[in-house]
Each structure stands twice: as structure tokens, then as C-alpha cells.
Amino acid sequence: MVKINARVRAAVAAILAGGMVVAMAGCGGSSATAGATGTSIPDTITTEVAYASRDFMPNTTSGALPMSANWHVVEPLYALDYTTYKTFPALAKGAPQKVSDTEYVITLRDGAKFSDGTPVKASDVVSSYKRSTAEGSLFISMLDFIDSVEAKGDNQVDFKLKAAFPMFEKRLALIPIVPSGKSDAELKKMPTGSGPWKYTAITDRQVSFEKNDAYNGKYPAQTKKMVWNVNVDDTARVTAMQAGKTDVMENVPAKAVQTLTSSGSDIQTVQGFNQAFIMFNTKKKPFDDPRVRQAVFYSIDTKKLIDNQLSGQAQTVTSFLPENFANYHKAKNVYTKNTAKAKELLKEAGVNGPIKTTLYTTDQTWVTQLAPQIKNDLAESGIDVDIQSMKSSALYPSITDKDGADFSMVLAPGDPSVFGNDPDLLMNWWYGDNVWTKQRTFWKGSEGYDELHDLMGKALSASSDAERQDYWNQCFDLLSEQVPLYPLFHRKVSTAVKKGVFDEYKTMGTTGLNLVQAKVAQ
């Protein structure tokens, strides 16, 4: 958390009194110098974001950019504080009223309106739930504990569950509430919500917001405008931050920390779940054999990747969860570079001669920088790969998500902790009954898949936290053996915050930016 002291506030006040324009953010202006505060555009927060997408549909999108941008515009009933993963009432008036272990009634915030001025009604909650669980939605497996959602008048919603569910309130953060009258196409292009901000424009290069004057919740927008500049390229983001053209920058490259510190930024780093993972087509020989998939992980020197490509800003993987997560358990298989072990596993799997295939990667700079070493490491074990990099928006629909997909391996980033941090949710994202297991890993229906879901079901119905943790531990062991998709490392998330902009800003350990609870310096 950044705390700006009284001396800085006094300096800012003096500058304002002298007639200079000092603002929260800007797209232009003079170059930054160490200790400088403020920027040149008044009443605007400007950020540099590292991921791109044009699908902003709140109830189905999973892109890092639209997910975090929508936090500012569209409210769920309960939102997550991503620094603690505790919930707070957003559109809900208060805590859920418990009728029984399987029924809750939630009352909407008095006078809540969407940014177009229409009142938020219980019927909007019902329709939003239906959108979030429509056929093909990635959120179905994380919300399938809900049996029904019904409106009780205009301001109350009745939730009936299939069985008692210990994470009920947290999971409601997955249901953004949008107007019933808006079509999916309209919401995909530019969502309407009841949050502190509203969208004014969304392009490939920039997302623009204005303060939502209809918002009556706890966290009103701190400035009149906000601009998010989209720059997948690390150098472009660093250059903008260094020059004083932005207030907050996500995904700071480790090698740029000293540069940005010297030019007037505070660098805040938090260990997170964010990762680069390798995903396999488990129907494609020889990767249909778990031993071959294990051989890939034993081939890769992840410690060297972390030291050289990430400047140490990541944690080696000892389980599906990072070690700082509350439910962490050291997995049965922990992968460190062992070329002899990799070759032995390949031989056991009946692989004779080298494997020749393509390793597809997404185009984020930090991901593509990993590929050359991975290629060299795999070659030592007899796995020869060509590297092909492309945008996520092209890779998934054109390479993986189609009938007859013929790929073998994908290297990509991911971070479902934007949805929450409980193990059931995180496992359901990549290993649930959804597109990841049906069209990407093709793991659904396998013996490993069935065993995992049996254990996950037992965890949810456990009679104690200790029993639940024991089942989750078995899940982590199983995933470390099956590895249909598995992390190479868990990244530390670094954010650059320009000094003098905020009285308080909390950096979160997940992908994206969240300025909802930030306090702008006065």
C-alpha cells in the first residue's frame, strides 16, 4: 500500500496554488524525474495495461483486460478485495440472509441504478445468472452448485443451492449484474453496469472511462475520467511510465524495476498464482501418455528460466498452488531439470527416436522470451520443437478450439485467481467440465479426469476443513502426475505506481489492475 506523506500533499497544494496544472494522469507531458509528482492532464487516471482483448461481455469473458476493466464498471452482488480475497457487498445491501444451509435471500442496495439511469432490479440478477451459466460458458463448472435463482419482488433475490456450499458468497463475484434489456452483442462491445465508472470508448489500443454519476455505492470514482492504454509490448509500457505519461503500469518486467524506480515510480511486488503453463493435447500421441507429459517438465530448467528471463521474480512450482496460498500442499511430483529422468520416462512410454512437433506460444513478451531456452532444454531429452507465437485471440480459435485439432503443446500465461483463490475454483477453471478439458487438453472423460472430480466432490461435501484439505491434497498429487496442463512457475506480480498520485493504492497478486478501492491524493 502506498501512503503519501503530508510534505508531498503540501507540495502538490503549493503547485496548484501557483497555477500549474497537476493531475492524476496524462497521455502526454514532460519527462518524469526522480521524486516528481502528478502529471499534465487534470482529473484523469491513466494506466498502461499489458493484455489485449475486444470481448468485454462481463458474464463470459475471461480475458485479463476486460476482466479487470469490468471490475470498475459492472458490479456483482459481492466483490472481492484482491489483496485479501475477502468479499465486500457491492450491489448487495449487506450479508446474505440465511434461510437454510441450501437457501439464501439477498437484498439489493437501495437506489442502485445502472449508468444509463435505469434502476437495478432483482430480475437483472436472475438474467445475469442465466448469462453466466449459458451453454458454453467457462463459469458453469464454478457455479453449478446453484440450483435456482428467483426474484422476490424488485429488490430481493432467492438463491437455492443443490447442497451446502462453503464458498457461496465468494462465488457470487463471478456473476456481474448487467441490464436485462441489453443484448449479449451490446455487452460484448461495451458493457453497461452499476459500478463507479462507465465506458466511453473501447478500441484495440485504449479503453476510456468516465465517472458514473448514477453510482451510489461505497467506492465512487476518484476522478472524472480514466484512460487505459493497451500495450502488450513491455518496452512500450516502460517507456510511457518512465516518461511520466501514466500513473499505474501493470506487469512490470523485472529488468525494468531499477529504471522505473529512478524515474519516480514505486514498485510493488506480490507473490501470486499468475503463471506460464504448458498445455497438452492429451489425445495426440505420444502426449496421450502421462509419462511423456512428465518428461517435458523434467526436461525444462525452470530455475534457470526464473533467474535469467524473470530476474528471480517467480517461485518454482512445488504444487498446483503457490506456497503462500492458505491451502498449499507440496505435491507428490515436484519437477526440476532431470534429463536422464525425462529420457527414462520417454523410453518407458515406448517412444523410440526423437519427437518432432510445434510448441505454440502466445505473443506476450515475457512468454515469448521463455521459448528459446525451453526449446533447447527439450532438445536435450530428444523432443525437438519449432516455436510459433501468435495472439491469444488467434491461437485458441484457430489452433486449439476446433474439431480435429492437431496441435501437441501450448505455452501460455494464465491466472484464474482473478475469479477467486479457493482450490475448487482454481481447479475447476482448467480441469472442470468446460472448454479447457473438452477442446484444449481433451482430458475430459479420461481416468485421471474422473478421479480428480471424484476427489473434488468429496472435498466440497467434507464435514470439516481438515477433511476438505486432505481431499484437496490428493487432488494436487494427482495433477502433478497427470499434468494435462500444469504451471512452469508462479510469477510475482509487480506494479508501478507513480509517486504522488495516490494516498492509498493496494497492489494485488493477480493479473490486471483494480482501482476501485484506491484513494487519490488530495
Q: 365: pLDDT confidence band, cut at 50, 70 and 90?
A: confident
pLDDT exceeds 50 at position 46: yes
Q: At residue 143, what are phi and psi to the nearest 5 degrees?
A: -125, 5
Span 91-123, pLDDT tens digits = 999 999 999 999 999 999 999 999 999 999 999
- pLDDT of amino acid 60: 93
Q: Are 8 and 190 in contact (CB under 8 A)?
A: no
Beta bridge partners of 497: 248, 266
Span 11-20, pLDDT tens digits = 333 333 333 2
Q: What's the CA angle centered on 311, arms 310 and 315, to 5 degrees?
A: 65
DSSP annotation of 400 reads I
- pLDDT of amino acid 31: 38
Q: Are 233 and 472 in contact (CB under 8 A)?
A: no
Q: 42: pLDDT confidence band, cut at 50, 70 and 90?
A: confident
DSSP annotation of 175 reads -
DSSP annotation of 119 reads B
- pLDDT of amino acid 16: 30
Residues 383-395 have a mean pLDDT of: 95
Q: Are 288 and 426 in contact (CB under 8 A)?
A: no
pLDDT exceeds 70 at position 28: no
Q: What's the CA angle centered on 93, arms 92 and 96, to 5 degrees?
A: 70
pLDDT exceeds 70 at position 6: no
Residue entry with cell 476518484:
222
pLDDT exceeds 70 at position 317: yes
How far from the centroid of its chain's Cα atoms is residue 29's Cα?
A: 31
The alpha carbons of the chain give a radius of gyration, in whole angstroms, of 24
Q: Which of 410, 416, 422, 461 is nearest to 434 (CA)?
A: 416
Q: Which of 18, 52, 359, 4 is nearest to 205 (CA)?
A: 52
pLDDT exceeds 70 at position 339: yes
- Identify the weakest region by mean pLDDT among 37-41, 81-85, 108-112, 421-425: 37-41
- Identify the weakest region by mean pLDDT among 22-26, 38-42, 49-53: 22-26
Beta bridge partners of 159: 104, 149
Q: 231: pLDDT confidence band, cut at 50, 70 and 90?
A: very high
- pLDDT of amino acid 109: 98
Residues 375-386 have a mean pLDDT of: 98
Q: Are 79 and 90 in contact (CB under 8 A)?
A: yes
Percent of the chain predicted with pLDDT > 90: 83
Separation CA 167–CA 422 (nearest Å)? 8
pLDDT exceeds 80 at position 66: yes
Span 154-196, pLDDT tens digits = 999 999 999 999 999 999 999 999 999 999 999 999 999 999 9
- pLDDT of amino acid 93: 97
Question: Residue 67 corresponds to which cell in the numbers above?
Answer: 476482466
Separation CA 297–CA 278 (nearest Å)? 9
Span 238-260, pLDDT tens digits = 999 999 889 999 999 888 999 99
Kindly report the number of other CB atoms within 10 A of residue 62's CB atom.
17
Q: Are 448 and 484 in contact (CB under 8 A)?
A: yes
Residue entry with cell 475448487:
424
pLDDT exceeds 50 at position 197: yes
Q: Are 367 and 276 in contact (CB under 8 A)?
A: yes
Residue entry with cell 501437441:
408
Q: Are 51 and 232 in contact (CB under 8 A)?
A: yes
Amino acid letter, 395: L
Question: Residue 510 corresponds to which cell in the numbers above?
Answer: 493477480
- pLDDT of amino acid 138: 84
pLDDT exceeds 60 at position 3: no
- Cis ω for the linkage preceding 286 (within 30 of 0): yes
Separation CA 245–CA 248 (nearest Å)? 10
How far from the centroid of its chain's Cα atoms is residue 304's Cα?
A: 25
Beta bridge partners of 59: none
Question: Residue 511 corresponds to which cell in the numbers above?
Answer: 493479473
Q: Which residues contact 390 (CB under 8 A, 6 or more apart)?
A: 360, 361, 362, 363, 398, 399
Mapping DSSP to helix (H, G, I), strand (E, B) and coil, where does residue 522 land?
coil
Q: Are 144 and 163 in contact (CB under 8 A)?
A: no
pLDDT exceeds 80 at position 129: yes
- pLDDT of amino acid 67: 94
250: left (phi over 0), alpha (psi -120 to 50) or beta: beta
Kindly report the number of other CB atoms within 10 A of residue 203's CB atom.
9
Residues 336-362 have a mean pLDDT of: 97
pLDDT exceeds 90 at position 350: yes
Amino acid letter, 458: K
Span 408-438, pLDDT tens digits = 999 999 999 999 999 999 999 999 999 999 9
- pLDDT of amino acid 19: 33
Separation CA 58–CA 248 (nearest Å)? 23
Residues 350-377 have a mean pLDDT of: 95
Percent of the chain predicted with pLDDT > 70: 92
Q: 471: pLDDT confidence band, cut at 50, 70 and 90?
A: very high
Mapping DSSP to helix (H, G, I), strand (E, B) and coil, where does residue 150 land?
strand
Amino acid letter, 23: A
- pLDDT of amino acid 487: 98
Span 272-290, pLDDT tens digits = 999 999 999 999 999 999 9
Q: What is the mean pLDDT of the chain?
A: 91
pLDDT exceeds 50 at position 500: yes
